[in-house]
Structure 1
Amino acid sequence: MTRLPIFFLTTATIFAVLGMLWGIQMSASHDHTLSPAHGHLNLIGFVALAVFGFYYALTPEAARSGLAKLHYGLSVATVLVLVPGIVLAITERGETLAQIGSLLAVLTMVLFVFILLRHGFGTTDADNRRPVAGNPNPAE
């Protein structure tokens, strides 16, 4: 089994912890100016990466593909560009990074759609009839 689901889920969890700590800091300071960036960190950084990780855990054939590794890199790059970009935009120091991050987010999701359509969902192979090794019952 590939370690890709672990990479996605570990990274998602790290982003969640960072998002929680940031939320605590905003609450303690009573300054919620950057809450849109905080929200994107939680939504894309935690939720999206966790969804991707669970998909790859449930669809190991997709996780073994080169596109899945590209998907991981693009997903992490999206968060690392978009969240600081939103901070810069909110603080009126430029919107370019946020725009680039937004494009990366769209590319990440389009790639995920392509991977879903190519590999389907679950532990069966691409034709959805033969079980993948280790799963004798394709109905599971």
Structure 2
Amino acid sequence: MPKVSHLFFQSGIVFLIVGIGMGLQMSISGVHNVTGAHAHLNLLGWVTSALFGAYYALNPAKAALRLAMIHYGVYTLGVIAMIVGLYFLLQGNTSFEPLVVVGSLVTFAGVLIFAYTVFAPSRTASPARPRPAE
């Protein structure tokens, strides 16, 4: 499995564990004020990261490009910033709103990088041309 795929799956699992923890905390306490952060973390953190990892596993030529690691870094940083900001914003701390905005934009940039990766043609080695007869 390509390194970037493995990283996306590892991060996704961490996001899933934290997301489930948030859900359990809400369920146990009966206070559901961070439902939005919980849902975003599970969807963007776990599901989307796993899909990115699967795509790169199925497309090792694209996974080998430097852009794949840039995608991983940008997207993961964006999700972390957005979720931390959203968690505290939903708890009533409005000073975290700029972090939600920046994190959302960085996450979106990560999605745009992935879209470019998907639509860009694969760069594979050209097949050997037959030599002219001597």
Question: TM class, shorter-chain normalised?
Answer: 0.7 to 0.9
Question: What does 1:52-91 correspond to in 2, within 5 Å?
Answer: 52-90=52-90, 91=92
* Whole-Å separation in 2 of the counterparts to 1:21 and 1:83: 14
State the TM-score, normalized to the length of structure 2.
0.85
Matched, 1:93 2:97: no
Paired position in structure 2 for 1:107 = 109
Paired position in structure 2 for 1:135 = none
RMSD of aligned alpha carbons: 1.8
Paired position in structure 1 for 2:3 = 3
Paired position in structure 1 for 2:28 = 28
In structure 2, give the amino acid aligned to 1:60. Answer: P
Aligned with residue 117 of structure 1, among 107, 116, 119: 119
Where do 5+ consecutive residues of structure 2 fail to align? 128-134
Structure having the higher helix fraction is: 2
* Whole-Å separation in 2 of the counterparts to 1:43 and 1:74: 17
State the TM-score, normalized to the length of structure 1.
0.82
Matched, 1:47 2:47: yes
* Whole-Å separation in 1 of the counterparts to 2:104 and 2:4: 24
Q: SS at the partner of 2:2?
A: coil
In structure 2, give the amino acid aligned to 1:117. Answer: F
In structure 1, give the amino acid aligned to 2:42. Answer: N
Q: Runs of at least 4 residues of structure 1 off by over 4 A?
A: none
* Whole-Å separation in 2 of the counterparts to 1:106 and 1:85: 16
Paired position in structure 2 for 1:37 = 37
In structure 2, give the amino acid aligned to 1:23. Answer: G
Q: Deviations over 1:98-122 (max 9, x none)?
A: 0001101210111000011114xxx
How many Å apart are 1:2 and its aligned residue? Answer: 2.7
Seq. identity, %? 32
Q: Deviations over 1:75-116 (max 9, x none)?
A: 210121000111232213321000001101210111000011
**Matched residues, number:** 124
Q: SS at the partner of 1:110?
A: helix
